[in-house]
Amino acid sequence: MTNTHLEPNQVRAARLAGALYLVTMATAIFNQSFVRGSLLVRGDATRTAQNIAGSEQLFRIGIAADIVTFTGVVLLVWALYVLLRPVGRNLAVLAVFLRLAEVAVHYVATLFSLGALVLLSGAEYLAPLDTGQLQALARASLSMHGAGLNLGFVLLGLGSAVFAYLLLRSRYVPKALAAWGVFASLLLSASAIAVIVFPAVSPFVMAAMIPMFIYEVSLGLWLLLKGPSVRLA
């Protein structure tokens, strides 16, 4: 089914979704690339602990950026639902559930980063554990955070694919952009599952995220600057 008319609330929701795509992408990249990318050292618990201790405020800002990202995703999902509910209510509800489950997983994953800070805090009740043990536990906690993010990506990809399919049916955006969204979303989900089954491929997952980055930024700009419109077949 294709709507031949757009309600004002759909147009407003589309503009909001466009802005949120860009904001959440920016905050996510800031934490994952700039903060975690500069502080976490793969396979080296000691250097990671030293980096976090030396830049604790930056690490905390990164956690706050993640909270902004996940909260922004909740608003994004609501905006997409308002925009796409007339196209296919049942599928829109499915996409909402998948994306909200993703957010829940990502919020829980964030607790592991906060846990790492607790382990490195030097609190008196941690005295029975030596420095090396605390650093190893902190690094393990950060690895659990990463595993939680990856698990959330499975749900993110599935939910995003459903929303992209609805955009394809709606013809609110160019068909090529919506079709690319279906492909990029499913690729992200498949790559996240591959990491669970074959951990050795994890360094290559970033390449699988590039199509998703292109899709979300392009869609965000389109919805924000041009807005949705009904295109005839």
So where are the chain's domains? Answer: 8-152+216-226
Q: pTM score, two decimals?
A: 0.91
pLDDT digits (tens, 9 = 90+) for 13-24: 999 999 999 999
pLDDT digits (tens, 9 = 90+) for 50-71: 999 999 999 999 999 999 999 9
Tell me the C-alpha distance between 76 and 97, whole Å.
13
Tell me the C-alpha distance between 145 and 45, whole Å.
15
Contact 184, 214 (CB under 8 A): yes
* CB proximity list for 173: less than 8 A, separation 6 or greater: 167, 219, 222, 223, 228
pLDDT digits (tens, 9 = 90+) for 102-134: 999 999 999 999 999 999 998 889 889 899 999
Mean of the pLDDT values across residues 74-82?
98
pLDDT digits (tens, 9 = 90+) for 148-173: 999 999 999 999 999 999 999 999 99
